A and B are shown apart, each in its own frame.
Chain A
Amino acid sequence: MSVDTVEDNSRLAEGLGIEFPLLSDSGREAIRAWGLVHAGADPRGDAIARPGVFLIEPDGTVSWRSIPDDWRVRLRPEQVLAVLRSPR
């Protein structure tokens, strides 16, 4: 998910063949609720998300998270899959 619009996400999902939900937080509600606001980082001066990855268990609790301190450094797909495969 990102602050991009549904239209932008639709184009992106089609281009990349993404089938999982690509959510649009254009109202910035989720990044506020999740404490991941990077204020003023949008070229238009609006807030965007700082990168973060969370694993949510069926009961709704956070069981793992990764919040890098550098926006260039992103978790790679294989790192997320390794977390999912590791024993609980």
Chain B
Amino acid sequence: MTTAAAPRNHAAWIGPLVALIGLVSYFALAVKVPALRDSAALNLALVAAGVIIAAWGVLRRPGWRSWLGLGGAVASAVLLAGYVLVLSKQMPVADAAPLVGSPAPPLVLPDQSGRIVDLAGFADRRVVVLFYRGFW
């Protein structure tokens, strides 16, 4: 039996490629689209499809290439799922944050031009205060 004449096992490279696209496109593209960013469902579906294709490649034509392909696809799936389902939820509890009905804590900070802004100075209007993680 010769393997040289065997048809190429396309699933062994298509599977990990689809999974890699699912992983990379989340950080490159989906994070800019709120609907795709919040649930990450499209990207999770892509990495899952990549794993299924690669697993099919292993079943159809077992060999080191197809196992390597499955390993690559699983690695992309684990990285994406680990980030969106586990890592990004690793935040301390915010039980010290002000509750609805309680007074807002002091907020006196410089704005983008260096001018000091005091929340207490807005007593004539409602104010939305947004805390972001930064590093833009």
Residues of A within 8 A of B (CB): 1-4, 6, 8-10, 12-14, 18, 21-25, 29-31, 33-39, 41, 43, 48-65, 67, 69-76, 80, 84
Q: Are A34 and B131 in contact (CB under 8 A)?
A: yes
Q: Are B128 and A35 in contact (CB under 8 A)?
A: no
Number of A-B contacts (CB under 8 A): 172
What's the tally of chain B residues with a CB closer than 8 Å to chain A?
A: 49
Tell which of A1, A13, A41, A65 touches B100, judged by Cβ atoms closer than 8 Å.
Answer: A65
Q: A23-B110, A33-B107, A65-B97 known; 20 other A-B pairs, CB under 8 Å?
A: A3-B134, A4-B135, A21-B117, A22-B111, A23-B111, A24-B111, A24-B112, A35-B95, A49-B132, A50-B133, A51-B133, A55-B127, A60-B104, A62-B103, A63-B100, A69-B91, A70-B88, A73-B38, A80-B128, A84-B126
A50-B92, A52-B97 known; A13-B40 Cβ under 8 A:
no
